Amino acid sequence: MTDSPPPPASNPAPKVAIAVIVLLLVLVVVYALTDRSAPSSSRGIVSAHVVQIAPRVSGEVIDVLIVDDAVVQAGEALFAIDPRPFELAVRQAEANLETALQNVDASGASLVAAQAAVTQARAALDNTRAEAERTFRLEERGIVAKAQGDQARSAVAQAEAALQSAEANLESARVQLGPRGRDNPAILGAEAQLEKAQYDLASTTVKAPHRGVVTNVTLSEGQFIGAGNPALTFIDAEAAWITVDLRENQLQAVNSGDPAHLLFDALPGQIFEGRVQSVAWGINPGRNSQDGLVVNQPANRWFEPARRIPVRIEIEGGMENWPRRVRVGGKVHAVILADGDSGPIAWLARGTQRLRSSFSYLH
């Protein structure tokens, strides 16, 4: 009796192919769900208010009072311009006022002193209001505590009261001139000239608008700088955020207030909580015009790149929780949990970011 041939071995290739296809379909579905419910990007940027500090008056720099990358407080002197031309202008304005007063046979000593007090009080109020307005905007967004906003309101009220008191003293000094001098056009013109000269003199010392960092300091003593020309760069230390560019189809469920998780390259292994503050309403698509008409953009790609919209994210708890080692322009990986912190998609996105944070020590 002859042995029967062994049965042919089954081919596993179809099963493997089906398994691979099913796995790919699952990955595509998970990617699509994650992209909508928990959009992420590794190209986030640390942003802050960056302004160019420029003097109000022109002149020669006689003293640079800060060093590059120094932390400065509000009102701290940054650099000084030669005050001598402006001191002479004040003296000239005072002499002009004295001449105008002599025509009405009155003394201008009290008037000059009162005018100087008004100029100082008005400059102080302008600075206090500018700082307070900034604090109020940060308070509305929850970046600073309400107590800090109350302090700003109190400071404005005190500065307004000081200006009112100085103006009352000035009016009293005018009354002492008598009916011939109080409304005399020559005297009023001389007062205005004196106030401008005093204001210009006070502007020869350039001060920090609020707490921040000065960088790109290229000033040196003896350098002449014109009014309005940038002298150094100032970075606001009290207002920073993260800007993340997301594709348009990632923004379907993203709204202001959505929680976010942030991983800074400067702080590997640490994940910070944040919140979506706003989504930009528009971008510049790069369309050019020529001779009053829009230039046609030839389609030379198979697939047009996706447009990306900036999303602004702020640290939870405001600037008190801001990591101090993070620098403006630094890189951030951000995950926005558009459907909340719970659910399998949120857990998957957070777990992936946590795994990424472990490897962030290596690159």
Query: How many CB atoms sit inside 10 A of residue 262's CB?
Result: 26
Asked if 331 and 43 touch (Cβ cutoff 8 Å), the reply is yes
Domain 55-82+204-229 has CATH 2.40.50.100: yes
Query: How many CB atoms sit inside 10 A of residue 207's CB?
Result: 18
**pLDDT higher at 140 or 232:** 232
Where does CATH 2.40.30.170 sit in the chain? 36-48+238-283+306-363
Length in residues, the chain: 363
DSSP letter (8 states) at residue 313:
E
Pick the CATH number of 36-48+238-283+306-363 from 3.40.50.300, 2.40.30.170, 3.40.50.740, 3.40.50.10860: 2.40.30.170
pLDDT digits (tens, 9 = 90+) for 117-135: 888 888 888 878 877 777 7
Query: Per-residue pLDDT for 140 more than 80?
Result: no
Q: What is the pTM (predicted TM-score) of this model?
A: 0.70
Please list, in sequence order, all residues whose beta carbon lies within 8 angstroms of the beta carbon of residue 96, skipping any fewer than 6 positions away. Answer: 190, 193, 194
pLDDT digits (tens, 9 = 90+) for 191-230: 889 889 999 999 999 998 888 899 888 888 999 999 989 8
Intra-chain end-to-end CA distance of the chain, in Å: 71
pLDDT digits (tens, 9 = 90+) for 160-186: 888 888 888 887 777 776 655 566 787
Burial profile 277-304: b = 16 or more Cβ within 10 angstroms, e = fewer:
beeeeeeeeeeeeeeeeeeeeeeeeeee
Where does CATH 2.40.50.100 sit in the chain? 55-82+204-229
CA distance 361 to 342: 28
Least Cα distance to 308 among 255, 250, 247 occurs for 247
Residue 297 zone, left/alpha/beta (φ > 0; ψ -120 to 50; rest):
beta
Chain center to CA of 283: 19
DSSP letter (8 states) at residue 224:
E
Residues 235-239: what's their mean pLDDT? 81
Residues 91-100: what's their mean pLDDT? 86
Asked if 114 and 166 touch (Cβ cutoff 8 Å), the reply is yes
Query: Per-residue pLDDT for 272 more than 80?
Result: yes
Least Cα distance to 72 among 215, 203, 202 occurs for 215
Residues 47-62: what's their mean pLDDT? 90
